[in-house]
Structure 1
Amino acid sequence: MRACLLWLSLLLGAAALPAAAQTADPAEPFNRAMYSFNDGLDKIVLKPLAKGYVAIVPMPARVGFGNFINNFRDIPNALNNLFQGKVGQAASDVGRIAINSTFGILGVIDVASEMGLERHNEDFGQTLGWWGVPSGPYLVLPLFGPSTVRDTFALPVDYATAGRHLVIESVAVRNSLTGLEFVNDRANLLDAEKALDEAALDKYVFIRNFFLQRRQSLVYDGNPPRPKDEDDVWDETNDAAPGAAEKGKK
């Protein structure tokens, strides 16, 4: 669900995709059922918690907690950049962790960004795509939200490389942080959700199309290959080989 929440704020800038996108969703009945389950759970549990959180916790504290969590997220960012051969970006991520963990009071203050060290967004699903693994069909996972077959198989690696379990010994503390992380991420999207409700006739289709488009863009670092025609938009091979392309240039 966290992954779903992080990109929902960008939905309003997404263009509608061609009808060919439906070919990436052969399990649509199941996915719609899971989407409805997640949406219902959000309305009953997460959204009310997020509203209460915003009402009680001041903005500076919410920003500081978000920075603290992002400091942990920079660990898999660094590892996946390294797995993809992006040594410069991996070094930048390590620098961010070192600077924010010390001068930024364990990451509460994002000093590294102020120094010009850009934060990256990498995960093992992107790494698999970089290596040439096709994305496979679209899936909606209970609690986690939008995904693909490739990204689903990447989740255990993402968890193992998150680093939190290595730094924080107490299971209770880790679980509490994870719960607060969900609420904080959801709170950041309350305003964006209102605009989405007004803009989308079918939110399921809108979110699915945006998710698939954005994942392809992330695998290619914002420069996905242009499809030959509309029917090729969701050819599995389209988003699966930027690493091979880089090797071909050398």
Structure 2
Amino acid sequence: MTTASSYFRLAPAALAALTLAGCATVPGEPDPRDPLEGMNRSIYQFNDTLDRAVLKPVAQAYQTVTPTPVRDCIGNFFGNLRDVLYTANSFLQGQVPDGINMAGRVLLNTTLGFGCFDPASKVGVPSIPRDFGSTLGVWGMGPGPYLVLPFFGPSTVRDGAGRLVDTYASPLTHVENVRVRNSLYGVRVVSDRERLLEAGDLVDDIALDPYLFVRDAYLQRRQAIINQSLGQDAAPDYSLPDYGDDPEAAPAAAPIAP
């Protein structure tokens, strides 16, 4: 298949990018939040190359051949699964009213929405993105250095640890049929990437340095989510549309993710 062959052609580039990560040139003064910028830029470039060669074309094809109602249904299905994690983390962060509302949202979308529609948003019960990385932040753990993860994109040391917990807690992880589970993961990645097509093009158009744009938007959004849970004034959110703040789902070149 074309997609598979493109991916394997990228394997040498991936190895080279990761091997030479520490040798990348860092322009300007180093940012104290990003002491590993040289390595991060190399991994960012690898992710971007993979995205342009594989993920973005697949997402564009998916958008072309799949009717909008079907794409919306698929997106709502995976969004409902994410809301299960958001519900648990709302309670862990001490946001009991939000946790109750999120539990009601999951129940409403699962029953009246058949897992395909989003009646909860229509009646004024929005999704509140809270993952375990933000829970660690509310509990007082600092973010640590900014990290760009291969295939997954923006993160920090704290959010990377939270990602492991969220991945294990995800309902998809516990689907016993391996073929079905992997198929669901694949569909979710394509669906999420399709939602970011316009945002990704915007980054290319307006950002003089896309790496810095993505990094600053990511860190700002993460702090805003934590501030909101702590009852503080949230930082302005200039971030682009995202993947529903699901840390395990974001494809390689996602402009932001928690």
The TM-score by the shorter chain falls in which range?
A: 0.7 to 0.9
Deviation sequence 1:112-137 (CA, Å, 0-9, x none):
11222121101000000000001001
Residues 99, 39 of structure 1: CA spacing in aligned structure 2 closer, same or farther, 3 A cutoff? Answer: same
Which residue pairs with 2:67 in the alignment?
58
Which residue pairs with 2:130 in the alignment?
122
Q: Is the 8 A contact 2:223 2:235 kept in 1?
A: no
Following the alignment from structure 1 to structure 2, what is the Cα–Cα distance between the partners of residues 121 and 173? 26
Paired residue for 2:167, among 159, 163, 173?
A: 159
Deviation sequence 1:97-119 (CA, Å, 0-9, x none):
111111111x2011111222121
Following the alignment from structure 2 to structure 1, what is the Cα–Cα distance between the partners of residues 67 and 182? 22
TM, length-normalised to structure 2: 0.76
Residue identity in the other structure for 1:68: F
Following the alignment from structure 1 to structure 2, what is the Cα–Cα distance between the partners of residues 80 and 21? 34
TM, length-normalised to structure 1: 0.78
Query: Is residue 42 of structure 2 the alignment partner of residue 33 of structure 1?
Result: yes
Q: Is the 8 A contact 1:21 1:209 kept in 2?
A: no
Helix, strand or coil at the partner of 1:23: coil
Helix, strand or coil at the partner of 1:223: coil
Residues 225, 118 of structure 1: CA spacing in aligned structure 2 closer, same or farther, 3 A cutoff? Answer: closer
1:15-34 to 2 correspondences below 5 Å: 22-34=31-43
Which residue pairs with 1:236 in the alignment?
none
Most deviating of 23-32 and 182-191 = 182-191
Q: Structure 2: any 5+ residue segments left out of the alignment?
A: 1-27, 237-258
Paired residue for 1:182, among 180, 184, 189?
A: 189
Report the Cα offset of residue 21 of structure 1: 8.2
1:229-244 to 2 correspondences below 5 Å: none
Query: Is residue 218 of structure 2 the alignment partner of residue 208 of structure 1?
Result: no
Helix, strand or coil at the partner of 2:69: helix
Following the alignment from structure 2 to structure 1, what is the Cα–Cα distance between the partners of residues 30 and 86? 29
Report the Cα offset of residue 180 of structure 1: 1.0
Query: Is residue 116 of structure 2 the alignment partner of residue 108 of structure 1?
Result: yes
Query: Is residue 88 of structure 2 the alignment partner of residue 96 of structure 1?
Result: no
Which residue pairs with 2:205 in the alignment?
198
Following the alignment from structure 2 to structure 1, what is the Cα–Cα distance between the partners of residues 235 and 198? 33
Aligned length: 206
Paired residue for 1:172, among 166, 179, 193?
A: 179
Q: Is the 8 A contact 2:172 2:184 kept in 1?
A: no
Helix, strand or coil at the partner of 1:77: helix
Q: Is the 8 A contact 1:133 1:150 kept in 2?
A: yes
Q: Is the 8 A contact 2:220 2:235 kept in 1?
A: no
Query: Is residue 233 of structure 2 the alignment partner of residue 223 of structure 1?
Result: yes
Which residue pairs with 1:5 in the alignment?
none
Helix, strand or coil at the partner of 1:119: coil
Q: Structure 1: any 5+ residue segments left out of the alignment?
A: 1-18, 227-250
Percent identity between matched residues is 44
Following the alignment from structure 1 to structure 2, what is the Cα–Cα distance between the partners of residues 44 and 97? 36
Q: Is the 8 A contact 2:224 2:235 kept in 1?
A: no
Deviation sequence 1:42-66 (CA, Å, 0-9, x none):
0111011001101110111101100
State the structure with bigger RCO (CA 8 A, min sep 6), 1 or 2: 1
Q: Is the 8 A contact 1:80 1:127 kept in 2?
A: yes
Following the alignment from structure 1 to structure 2, what is the Cα–Cα distance between the partners of residues 175 and 86? 33
Following the alignment from structure 2 to structure 1, what is the Cα–Cα distance between the partners of residues 30 and 113? 43
Paired residue for 1:132, among 137, 140, 148?
A: 140
Q: Is the 8 A contact 1:34 1:142 kept in 2?
A: yes
Which residue pairs with 2:84 in the alignment?
75
